[in-house]
Structures are given as structure tokens and as C-alpha cells.
Amino acid sequence: MKSSGEGNANGKIILMGEHSVVYGKPAIAFPFQPTHVTAEITDHIYDVLRSGYFVGPLAKAPKSLENIKTLIHQLRHDFSTPPVQITISSTIPAERGMGSSAAVAVAITRAFFDWQNLPLSHELLLTYVNYAEKISHGNPSGIDAAATAGDEPILFQKGAAFETFPINISGFLIVADTGVKGKTRQTVKAVAQRFEQDNKTTGHLINELGDLTLKAKKAILNNQAAYLGELMNAAQKNLAALQVSDQTLDNLIMVANQNGALGAKLTGGGKGGCMIALASDYSTAKKITTALTNQGAKATWIQELGVYQYA
């Protein structure tokens, strides 16, 4: 055992396929490097958590941190360790569809294994993170865990080995935070209820989202940014029909499209959280972020997609 351990993870963005991924359809996600979380572990006389949301004995952490609490108890139990002090520093906005809860679980699990000086396979990492994610989200597809634990774009499909692939597209992705907490647990549940009540219409919308994701993968591989934008707009229509969008998201998506975006949609669970837009060049991306900020976006990021190029 070392005197301390450290673990890191990035936030993530789902480009296409949220919600339909819960029903076994493919989704595209990638690590979002502008947002990041670090966890540090040392031993302590009792379990203590130090984070932006809570500082104090782990036993007294609020319900919203139940995922972290349970993960730490499980890790400590599995490896019979002394109590720990965990310090979390994060720039990933919580509950905004950026995979904050999964990223924190990735960073903690990595820090724990580093502290214990034990090797951590990708598979074991995902097992612990998905365990924590079940507490946060109820019925997670596993995409957040997979995307925040890796450093390449992925095509994720529940139950299948996920594929990494090069983002071979020239363009700029804009991410904007509505400032409203996303409601992943509720939206996933609401879609499940819709599916039960009207499985024909809901099933059709979900199937189409899956098809759009596969088309998006081809558009990315063939550097067809304008087409990818159209596919994003089409996905947003289906997500709105599934009733996981809301007025704030719809408004920012409209503003992005009015300011030169090739396409725009929500990302993640929806009903708040973040939206994304695609721009062909940096000056359009800047114009879009300015317009989004003027319309009330709480934070914006621009990511050049070309940076994700793997031979």
C-alpha cells in the first residue's frame, strides 16, 4: 500500500444515441477533455470526504452522494482496507449530462487501486463504476462509465464490446450548459413508461435514433460535417418527440441553428443539462457561443473535433 493514491477522469459528451442506447441501440460518445476530475486517497482514522459539495465524515454525506459512499464502502470491503480520506476536485458540472457521477467513480476507483498499489483492469474498473452508476441513475446503459474511463471516442452498444474509432471530421463542437440540472433518472424512467404505454410509436422513435447514430458514424468517418449536422437535427426531433427535451434546451438549439450551426441537439439525459452544436469553422463556433451566452447559457465550451485523430 502507498501513502496516497491518485486517479483521474474526463467528462464525456454523447454525440448521438442517448436514450436509445438504454434499449440496446448504438451510441457515440467521447471523453470531453475540457472538463476533468481528480480523486486523491490517503488513509485516515475514519472515512472522510472532501469535495466541492460536501466536506465531512462520509457517514454524514447527503443522499445525492450515495453513489460515492456505496462505492467507497464496497472497495474498502473488497480489499479490507483501513478508513480513507478522499479528496475530489472537479471541473465537470454535476447533473448536466457530462457524466459527472461516472467520472467521479472512475477517478475514485483509480485512486483506490493506485493507493493499494494494485493493477486495475479496464473491465474491473467498469464493474465498480457501473455499480456506482446504478445508484445514481437506476438503469444506466453503461455508456457514461465507458466514455469517462477511456480517452478515445467510442461506439457503445449495451452488452457488446465497444468499438473505438477515429473522429475524422473537420468541425468544431460547441457545448452549452443550460444551467438547469439534468434529470437523467426521471427521463430514462419516463421513456420506459412511454414504451410500456405505446411501444409502437416509442419503439419507432428509438429505432430511428439507432439508425441515425449509425449514419452519424459513417458521416464522421467520411468527414461529412454538414450531413452530421442534419443527423443531429433529426435526432433532436426524435428526442423532443420522446419528451426528454425542454424549453430551455429547445431555445438554445434554435439559437445555435440561427447562428450558423450545421446542427444541434441535447446531450445526455435531457430536461436540462447541456446541448451541443456543430460548426464548420472556429469563427462560426465563437459566434454561436456568444449568441448562446446572450440567451442565458451558463457556460460554453468549444472543442475542435480534429483533435481526436487516431491512426
Which residues in this chain contact ligand PMV in the complex, by CB under 6 A?
Answer: 14, 18-19, 21-22, 97-99, 137, 140-141, 143-144, 182, 184, 188, 268-269, 273
Please check whether residue 293 is in contact with residue 299, taking contact to mean a CB–CB distance below 8 angstroms.
Answer: no
Beta bridge partners of 31: 12
Nearer to ligand PMV, 242 or 261 (CB): 242
Nearer to ligand PMV, 286 or 298 (CB): 298
Cα–Cα distance, 58 to 264 (Å, whole number): 40
Tell the smallest beta-carbon distance from residue 57 to ligand PMV (Å).
Answer: 28
Tell the smallest beta-carbon distance from residue 66 to ligand PMV (Å).
Answer: 16
Tell the smallest beta-carbon distance from residue 138 to ligand PMV (Å).
Answer: 9
Tell the smallest beta-carbon distance from residue 98 to ligand PMV (Å).
Answer: 6
Nearer to ligand PMV, 25 or 69 (CB): 25
Cα–Cα distance, 103 to 113 (Å, whole number): 16
Please check whether residue 60 is in contact with residue 66, taking contact to mean a CB–CB distance below 8 angstroms.
Answer: no
Count of residues in the chain? 311
**Which residues does the annotation mark as catalytic?**
144
Cα–Cα distance, 170 to 263 (Å, whole number): 14
Residue type, 227: Y
Nearer to ligand PMV, 143 or 232 (CB): 143
Cα–Cα distance, 225 to 155 (Å, whole number): 18
Tell the smallest beta-carbon distance from residue 182 to ligand PMV (Å).
Answer: 5
Beta bridge partners of 29: 14, 154
The DSSP element (H or E) to which 173 belongs, if any, is strand 172-177
Nearer to ligand PMV, 23 or 165 (CB): 23
Cα–Cα distance, 244 to 263 (Å, whole number): 18
Cβ neighbours for 231, distance < 8 A, ≥ 6 positions apart:
16, 212, 215, 216, 219, 263
Nearer to ligand PMV, 21 or 154 (CB): 21
**What pairing do the DSSP bridges indicate for beta strands 48-50 and 55-57?**
antiparallel
Tell the smallest beta-carbon distance from residue 245 to ligand PMV (Å).
Answer: 12
